Structure 1
Amino acid sequence: MVADTIIYHPTLTKLVKFWDSTPKREKSFRLLAYLSRFLSYYAYRKGYSKETIDMFKGLKNHFSFIRKGMRFFKPIPHLQTAAKAYDNQLMDPVLQATTIIRNLGYAGYLTIDSVVFAKMLGLVDSKKWPNLSTYASRFWLLGLVAGIIHSLRIISQLSGYKRDSTTVATDEKAKIDEKSISKQLYQAKRKLVWDLLDSFIALNTLNYLHFTEGDVGLAGVLTSLFGLEDMWKSTTV
Structure 2
Amino acid sequence: MVADTLVYHPTVTKLITFIDSTPKREKSFRLLAYLSRFLAFYAERKGYSLETIKLFANLKQHFTFIRKGLRFLKPLNHLQAASKFYDNKLLDPVLQSTSIISNLGYAGYLTLDSITWFKMLGIIDTKKFPTVSKWASRFWLLALLAGIVNSLHIITSLTSQKSSTKDEDEKVDTKAIESKLYKAKRKLVWHLLDSFICLNTLDILHFTEGDIGLAGIITSVMGLKDLWESTP
Category of TM-score, reference length = shorter chain:
over 0.9
In the alignment, the residues of structure 2 paired with residue 224 and residue 166 of structure 1 have an alpha-carbon distance, to the nearest angstrom, of 38
Residue 233 of structure 1 corresponds to: 229
Residue 39 of structure 1 corresponds to: 39
Residue 126 of structure 2 corresponds to: 126
The equivalences for 1:163-178 within 5 A come to: 163-167=163-167, 169=168, 171=169, 174-178=170-174
CA deviations over 1:159-184 (Å, ceiling 9, x no partner): 000111232x3x4xx22211110000
Residue 220 of structure 2 corresponds to: 224
| Paired AA for residue 15 in structure 1 | L
| Paired AA for residue 112 in structure 1 | L
CA shift, 1:87, in A, is: 1.4
In the alignment, the residues of structure 2 paired with residue 235 and residue 175 of structure 1 have an alpha-carbon distance, to the nearest angstrom, of 30
CA deviations over 1:120-152 (Å, ceiling 9, x no partner): 111111110011100000000000000000000
Residue 28 of structure 1 corresponds to: 28
Determine what percentage of the aligned residue pairs are the same residue.
66
Query: What TM-score, normalized to structure 2?
Result: 0.98
| Paired AA for residue 194 in structure 2 | D
The equivalences for 1:44-193 within 5 A come to: 44-167=44-167, 169=168, 171=169, 174-193=170-189
Secondary structure of the 1:12 match is: helix
Residue segments in structure 1 that go unaligned for 5+ positions in a row: none
Secondary structure of the 2:125 match is: coil
Query: What TM-score, normalized to structure 1?
Result: 0.96
In the alignment, the residues of structure 1 paired with residue 220 and residue 28 of structure 2 have an alpha-carbon distance, to the nearest angstrom, of 8
Q: Stretches of 4+ moved more than 3 A in 1?
A: none
In the alignment, the residues of structure 1 paired with residue 68 and residue 172 of structure 2 have an alpha-carbon distance, to the nearest angstrom, of 42
CA shift, 1:91, in A, is: 1.2
Residue segments in structure 2 that go unaligned for 5+ positions in a row: none
Do residues 213 (structure 1) and 202 (structure 2) align? no
| Paired AA for residue 209 in structure 1 | L
CA deviations over 1:101-129 (Å, ceiling 9, x no partner): 10000000000001111111111111100
CA shift, 1:25, in A, is: 0.3
Provide the aligned C-alpha RMSD in A. 0.8
In the alignment, the residues of structure 2 paired with residue 148 and residue 235 of structure 1 have an alpha-carbon distance, to the nearest angstrom, of 26
Residue 16 of structure 1 corresponds to: 16
| Paired AA for residue 58 in structure 2 | G
CA shift, 1:84, in A, is: 1.1
In the alignment, the residues of structure 2 paired with residue 120 and residue 176 of structure 1 have an alpha-carbon distance, to the nearest angstrom, of 53
